[in-house]
Amino acid sequence: MLYYLFNYLNELNFPGAGAFQFITTRAAFAFIVSLIISMILGKRIIKMLHRLQVGETVRDLGLDGQLEKSGTPTMGGLLILAAILIPTLLFAKLDNIYIIMLLLSTVWLGFIGFVDDYIKVFKKNKEGLAGKSKIVGQVGIGIIVGATLFLSDDVKISEEVNTTFVKTEKGNFVKETEWKESKTLTTTIPFFKNNELNYGDAVEWVGLDASKWGWLVFIPVVIIIIAAVSNGANLTDGIDGLATGTSAIIGVTLGILAYVSGNAFFADYLNIMYIPESGELVIFMGAFVGACIGFLWYNAYPAQVFMGDTGSLALGGIIATFAIAIRKELMIPIICGIFLVENLSVILQVGYFKYTKRKLGEGKRIFKMAPLHHHYQKSGYAEAKIVSRFWIIGILLAIFAIATLKLR
């Protein structure tokens, strides 16, 4: 909203209004406002949740210090959602298709998580929202995101068609690149020299027109990614500050990738896909990172508030949708390596237990407990140390992900 106000003031030559034309300026303001909202509203929301007796019901899993967390306010994800949505509405271009898509994903998955938390807290049902209902919700937003990216005329990529070197008056040569916009289902695939993969090739291989039938491959991929990442974030949110800090690290990484992908100069320099108008997503990610850091102030060990599924499902869904929007979804195993490992630890634990029970008559486990962070808790590691080491791994993965822009 403020973008349009300052755009109007800029037309009137109002001093300083032109600064709001820059993505970096608006992203910085979004980050600061998000941080202020989460820091200032944090105490008030915690007090309100205490007053409403919105406390976490902790199951006794035999973990050190676990029962001490019983009664800690949950549904703090509402604070995260507010700290993301308000700055985005203030500083982003609200007619941008990518911003609209991210806002919808945030509200959609936040609502699913809120319903789950509401059933657990107020209906006293520990199971919460039925698993099938969550899956239906994730499939629904996956279809919407996939269909939007496939059908919308505003979603395009620019391909380099001609490069010339022009001699300046000083005798230097300047590179000039000619771009051609096209509508394809091309995405980025890391480590390969020709680092692009077109989902449409899969349907062309069986004789179908990619422009009409490419969605048959693309939309199922989108659904799987959104479901996997949102569930991964949900599983990671089992120890104070882990999901919040990890999400902030991922957010910074995706923000950098969005900035270079939406900037013609950097896209040309790095020889990566140029996605017009996607740079606006940096404002959204500024608010996202600010919300995570602000919430971490209260969620770090020992936590004063938990985000609940209201926050974790939304954070995972935002990360997945964002990566898909900037055509970096195949880098998710690197960027979201912590979420991936948490997911795999549960899948392997459950699968191996069922297999050994069927074969041997007695179920055996790979880990002492799943998800993986509980395995280390069972092994005697302090909660703060586990979180710190997971963050360090997350930072290393983030650096590696950014390095893949040139590692081919």
pLDDT for the residue 174? 65
Q: Residue 157: beta bridge partners?
A: 182
pLDDT for the residue 72? 81
N-term to C-term CA, the chain: 41
Q: 200 with 188: CB under 8 angstroms?
A: no
Distances (CA, A) of 359 to 348, 355, 368, 389: 16, 6, 20, 37
Contacts of 87 (CB under 8 A, 6+ apart): 29, 30, 31, 33, 34, 37, 283, 286, 287, 290
- Encode burial over 120-148: b for 16+ CB neighbours within 10 A, e otherwise: bbeeeeeebbeeeebeebbbebbbbbbeb
The tens place of each residue's pLDDT in the chain, 408 residues long, gives 787 887 878 888 888 788 888 999 999 999 999 999 998 888 888 888 777 766 566 565 656 656 566 678 888 899 999 999 999 999 999 999 999 999 999 999 999 999 998 898 888 787 888 889 999 999 999 999 999 999 998 998 887 767 776 666 666 766 676 777 888 888 988 877 777 888 888 887 777 777 788 889 999 999 999 999 999 999 999 899 999 999 999 999 999 999 999 998 888 888 888 999 999 999 999 999 999 999 999 999 888 888 989 999 999 999 999 999 999 999 999 999 999 999 999 999 999 999 999 988 889 999 999 899 999 998 989 999 999 999 999 999 999 999 988 776
pLDDT for the residue 17? 80
Q: 237 with 254: CB under 8 angstroms?
A: no
Residue 91 corresponds to which amino acid? F
Helix (H, G, I), strand (E, B) or coil at 280: helix
pLDDT for the residue 198? 87
3-state secondary structure string across 344-400: HHHHHHHHHHHHHHHHHCCCCCCCCCCCHHHHHHHCCCCHHHHHHHHHHHHHHHHHH
pTM of the predicted structure, to 2 decimals: 0.92
Q: 30 with 92: CB under 8 angstroms?
A: yes
pLDDT for the residue 35? 94
pLDDT for the residue 238? 85
